[in-house]
Amino acid sequence: MIWQVLLLMSVIFMVFIGPASAETMEENAAAIADLQTALTFMWLLIAGAIVFLMHAGFSLVEIGLTRTKNTANILMKNFMTISLGIIVYWAVGWGIMYGADYAGLIGIDQFFLMGADNAVWNGWWFQMVFAATGATIVSGAMAERTDFKAYLIYTILMVALIYPVYGHWVWSGSGILTTGFIVDAIGVAHHDFAGSGVVHSIGGYSALAGVLLVGARIGKFKNGKPMAIPGHSLPLAFLGTLILAFGWVGFNGGSTLDANDPFANLVIANTFIAAGAGAIIVMIITWMKTGKPDPSLTANGLLAGLVAITAPCGSVSNSGAFIIGLIGGIIVYVGVMFNENVLKVDDPVGAIAVHGYSGSWGLIAVGLFALGTGEGSILEGAAYTAETAGLFYGGGVGLLMIQLVAVVLSIVWAFGISFIIFKILDVVIGLRVSEEHEIAGLDVVEHGISAYPEFLLAKE
């Protein structure tokens, strides 16, 4: 990688150009340390920028899989998600997630980044782009019938409360899933490398709560049978999917938190092996089931593989990543069918299955496939990996148990608190637009504009 090349060039320069005195050796060591720090700062800036681009991917997937009459509304929701996310995570979210710990449950300082330095600003930038993603997941699942004002209020609460509280439990270093009585009782800390649980499960199960309360779109179910409501642009949906996949370079790669981490390349390799496996298995399943490979479900298979590998990508082998992605694809297909045929919920983009169900599988996969860092492991000496081996690699049930605890907590927290918030919003504001407005489309009703004015004029 480029930072490794730069580091090597610096070392060569200092070895062959500088005198070999003890004083100079100390100066060289300090210079190398400074360079490593600078490269890490730059890597997190770049990785955060790549993750930021994922919001464009989410927008394109969502508008592609929904109808033309709601395009401007969806674009506004996603645009305001990141805009609100920036300010809310600066004011409140970062402090709750990474501030001084209170009882392993919540952070209580650093609001408005008070007392921040270069390291905190750098960390805030990288974590902020993650924080808004949870609300974006909810946006897709509740598309085409949700009141714009209600969604904005929910977004604020997602970034200020729902996401950072659970994030504190997992990533702060002092939360209940990495230290304290739960970890002491099981004997090992929870591991979620880049957020299968923190980002995706929280977003997915929050979306489930919202979809259950807002109800299905008009015409989605006929006599209890799910009916297809085609999206208006498969090219946009596929372009968005590929942008999201590119975003995972920053999402997972940046989560090494260190530009000098020797295992960053393994993280990236595992990420895309799982993605490919997820897409391929869904294509095969839909081909066998219907006689034709389904494009939108296949795209979701790729995303499911990415979501599933997000937690274990720094802890498993390439073959483990392949299996994890394969099962992630199966889960997303079964999950979409379960949601429509059993739960009777309407999720236009499949966000609940992709992010919720596959996210939970990613957490469980750590407890099964983690290689550990013991002598002889390919991850010997790795810094950002599960501390013990998983069940399939002789590590016993401890890691699997703590991962299952995290799965339960993520579901209970995200679904429970989101259900309460959405219920209050429904009573106070009204979560769903009127039937008349839904039929007319949210672009004209909510924003007084059409995303495709020529198309609208042609229809008239």
Query: What's the CATH number where 403 sits?
Result: 1.10.3430.10
**Distance, C-alpha 82 to centroid of its chain:** 14
Split at pLDDT 50, 70, 90, the class of 311 is: very high
Mean pLDDT (the chain, rounded):
92
pLDDT (0 to 100) of residue 396: 92
Rounded alpha-carbon distances, angstroms, from residue 363 to 116, 242, 243, 245, 366: 32, 24, 24, 20, 6
Is 450 among the domain residues? yes
Tally of structural domains, the chain: 1
Rounded alpha-carbon distances, angstroms, from residue 400 to 227, 305, 414: 39, 20, 21
Is 339 among the domain residues? yes
Radius of gyration of the chain (CA): 23
Q: What is the mean pLDDT of residues 162-168?
A: 98
Is 39 among the domain residues? no
Burial status of residue 293 (CB atoms within 10 A of its CB: 0-12, 13-18, 19 or more) = middle
Encoding tokens for residue 427?
């009573």
Q: What is the pLDDT of residues 175-207, one digit of tens each?
A: 999 999 999 999 999 999 999 999 999 999 999
Q: For residue 102, is pLDDT > 90? A: yes
Domain span at residue 243 reads: 47-115+132-459
Q: What is the pLDDT of residues 40-90, one digit of tens each?
A: 889 999 999 999 999 999 999 999 999 999 999 999 999 999 999 999 999
Is 176 among the domain residues? yes
Split at pLDDT 50, 70, 90, the class of 16 is: very low
**Of residues 18 and 338, which shows the higher confidence score?**
338
Q: What is the pLDDT of residues 417-430, one digit of tens each?
A: 999 999 999 999 99
Split at pLDDT 50, 70, 90, the class of 134 is: confident
pLDDT (0 to 100) of residue 30: 78
Split at pLDDT 50, 70, 90, the class of 218 is: very high
pLDDT (0 to 100) of residue 366: 98
pLDDT (0 to 100) of residue 10: 54
Is 166 among the domain residues? yes
> Under DSSP, is residue 58 helix (H, G, I), strand (E, B) or coil?
helix
Split at pLDDT 50, 70, 90, the class of 20 is: low
Split at pLDDT 50, 70, 90, the class of 213 is: very high
Alpha helices of 89-219 — where are they, by DSSP H? 94-98, 118-131, 133-141, 148-157, 163-171, 181-186, 202-214
Percent of the chain scoring above 70 in pLDDT: 94
Tell me what percent of the chain is helix, strand and coil, each rounded to the nearest 5. 70, 0, 25
Is 28 among the domain residues? no
pLDDT (0 to 100) of residue 380: 86
Is 411 among the domain residues? yes
Per the CB < 8 A criterion, the answer to whether 308 and 328 are in contact is yes
Alpha carbons 205 and 88: distance in angstroms, whole number:
21
pLDDT (0 to 100) of residue 21: 60
Q: For residue 456, is pLDDT > 80? A: no
Count of CB atoms situated within 10 Å of the CB of 400: 22
Is 16 among the domain residues? no
Q: What is the pLDDT of residues 364-401, one digit of tens each?
A: 999 999 999 987 888 988 888 998 999 999 999 999 99
**Of residues 274 and 2, which shows the higher confidence score?**
274
pTM above 0.85, yes or no: yes
Q: For residue 358, is pLDDT > 60? A: yes
pLDDT (0 to 100) of residue 455: 65
Q: What is the mean pLDDT of residues 212-234?
A: 96
Q: What is the mean pLDDT of residues 330-341?
A: 97
Identity (one letter) of the amino acid at 211?
V
Alpha carbons 280 and 397: distance in angstroms, whole number:
31
Q: For residue 243, is pLDDT > 50? A: yes
Percent of the chain scoring above 90 in pLDDT: 81
Alpha carbons 452 and 269: distance in angstroms, whole number:
40
Alpha carbons 57 and 200: distance in angstroms, whole number:
15
